[in-house]
Structure 1
């Protein structure tokens, strides 16, 4: 029996020190991340500043905003943001804060002809330019043409809406080119979203991300739902890439929606039963099968809670099937049950890592993506 390496962090080490020591070993010696990186408010502040304010985040699927004026709102590292479809059909993102007395403008999702501040009725066009401001003619410093909403970088990538506050971030099409190389034949951009929901769970955002990144837990945690569709011996977990990690599973015939539809003529051989789990850093988690997809987008809400955007839908062949409504209903019922199981798992993990006698254990070879995720987080932090 091989004993694990002693703690290499000195007394008084910060959570970042502990994390860097944690990832500074070969994967064959890897252990779960230190407890402090999940429970420390100071470490979460570093994550918000150096990860969430710097990298690309997902606002959901582009087909969620099909019409001019369709919008959704999101929060990026404390910055309220509107994402909308403008009058020319382009996706845009901009500040969700009025340029007058700084009220937030829109909430949730919906459709608008213009953006009207609920405080003093300053009105903005869908491109963010200021259309009107009541009773401002006597203020000599006011210039309507210079008072538009600040724009935020926004692009569509394989059907996903990607947004960042960082003007220097490399485009997703460049950073994530390897994703398309891996799963381009699935044509993820053509899958049709059937539902989009939001909820809040009592765990750290990284616990939920790690839960998605490994399928080691599927046979046990999901024994009543999808656990029977997988074989631990048929899971492959390669080393991750700088912007994402992934693994894939060859599924059996237990669930038809997991497999390619009979009318799919693009996928061949084992591709027709391969499910990919792709974790785009920091917080877009995608399950992509030949028949359906589902995803989570995570936003931290303090160390002990996470806000989750949850959505999913079907491949085009299942959408075109005469039984499409039945397929959608079966998929949603299945994923609702899967979420109940996952919620129990990740909330138990957070309670456990807050316990005094708990300590991080060694990782299985099936948890390679978790180690790569820890290395990404450490690599985004200052002071390298």
Structure 2
């Protein structure tokens, strides 16, 4: 099916309702969208020391790709497959410290760079070992202490995150600290793309987020579009909490309540004066989605104030709306919608990227 979206938002129609109902489209997106983009795989806190190993799973419930982070004695951090190249046993089950990686099944061993170093009972094997016996290296990169990996990236990580780096380079991202007590996981009965669409437009804020609307200056709320990301810049009302922006910030002189970054296809980086609320959208089925909220604190004294407060309530309000839309897109009478040129540039951008990736 052709999911083309007109580049002119003033005349464009949204993705058809069939996109959210088609099991074939959902399966195709797994390989053409998620496997070719950069996925968040957690932070680097447990692999800070040489000799650290930490298993990760790339986009659980969708890609389910077992990965392994390893920091060698020289301090180099690598991301590689966590699957033994002999018989596909998972190698490392929990974070640990080690001088080598050893498979518990048949004792094949690898160094912390992923090179196979030992295998019993293979003396008679010809052309062994070969490059295919080493652990595959997985493309990965960092934003502060946050780590990202991809199966087969369509573009370098900087093409996805470079605009975040340049806009917020003044923030000490490595100094943000994970507060697990504030982490949340939510499961909704809706297509993953509907949740993303809801995030990407400010049009609904005055109607379903009354408390949030009281702290934002909605008249100056705006979106900025990049190649694989976009930003919703949320100015604060007079008297409400805002960033203390340094002179090197391109927004110096403005009162910004929040930077809402979305990175294609399923990551939200919400920066508040207190720190970062990172939201990962995890498809678990055509009408089932898990959203992981992870909290990284910069200034605890600013928690629970301004746009970065009451996040659980905002989430509940969003979920109610998204699940209602999920029921609506199943209607035989729904075909397409239209975009608000003033408020839905982000949704149009998202749909254009989806159509691009689904077609290639």
* TM class, shorter-length: 0.7 to 0.9
Q: Matched residues in 2 for 1:254 and 1:346: separation?
A: 32
Gaps of 5+ in 1: 1-13
- Aligned pair count reads 350
Partner of 2:243: 260
Secondary structure of 1:152's aligned partner? coil
Q: Matched residues in 2 for 1:336 and 1:141: separation?
A: 59
Conserved? CA contact 1:82–1:106, under 8 Å: no
Distance change (3 Å), C-alpha of 1:124 and 1:227: farther
**2:339 is the counterpart of 1:363:** yes
**2:8 is the counterpart of 1:26:** yes
The alpha carbon displacement at 1:230 in A equals 1.9
> Following superposition of structure 1 onto structure 2, how do residues 263-342 of structure 1 map, counting pairs within 5 Å?
270-315=253-298, 318=299, 323=301, 327=303, 334-342=310-318
Q: Matched residues in 2 for 1:270 and 1:305: separation?
A: 42
Q: Matched residues in 2 for 1:156 and 1:78: separation?
A: 20
Gaps of 5+ in 2: none
Measured on the aligned residues, the alpha-carbon RMSD in Å equals 3.4
Conserved? CA contact 2:258–2:307, under 8 Å: no
Distance change (3 Å), C-alpha of 1:85 and 1:343: farther
Distance change (3 Å), C-alpha of 1:363 and 1:92: same
> Under a length normalisation based on structure 1, what TM-score does the superposition of the two structures give?
0.77
Distance change (3 Å), C-alpha of 1:80 and 1:269: closer
**2:189 is the counterpart of 1:212:** no
Partner of 1:345: 321
Secondary structure of 1:369's aligned partner? helix
- Range moving further from structure 2, 330-339 or 200-209: 330-339
The alpha carbon displacement at 1:128 in A equals 2.2
- Range moving further from structure 2, 27-36 or 110-119: 110-119
2:31 is aligned, of 37, 45, 49, to 49
Distance change (3 Å), C-alpha of 1:376 and 1:130: same
Secondary structure of 2:179's aligned partner? strand
The alpha carbon displacement at 1:151 in A equals 0.9
Secondary structure of 1:228's aligned partner? helix
Partner of 1:381: 358
Conserved? CA contact 2:234–2:259, under 8 Å: yes
The alpha carbon displacement at 1:370 in A equals 0.4
Conserved? CA contact 1:129–1:148, under 8 Å: yes
**2:178 is the counterpart of 1:193:** yes
> Following superposition of structure 1 onto structure 2, how do residues 150-169 of structure 1 map, counting pairs within 5 Å?
150-166=136-152, 169=154
Conserved? CA contact 2:223–2:345, under 8 Å: yes
Distance change (3 Å), C-alpha of 1:101 and 1:93: same
The alpha carbon displacement at 1:35 in A equals 1.3
- Range moving further from structure 2, 280-289 or 156-165: 156-165
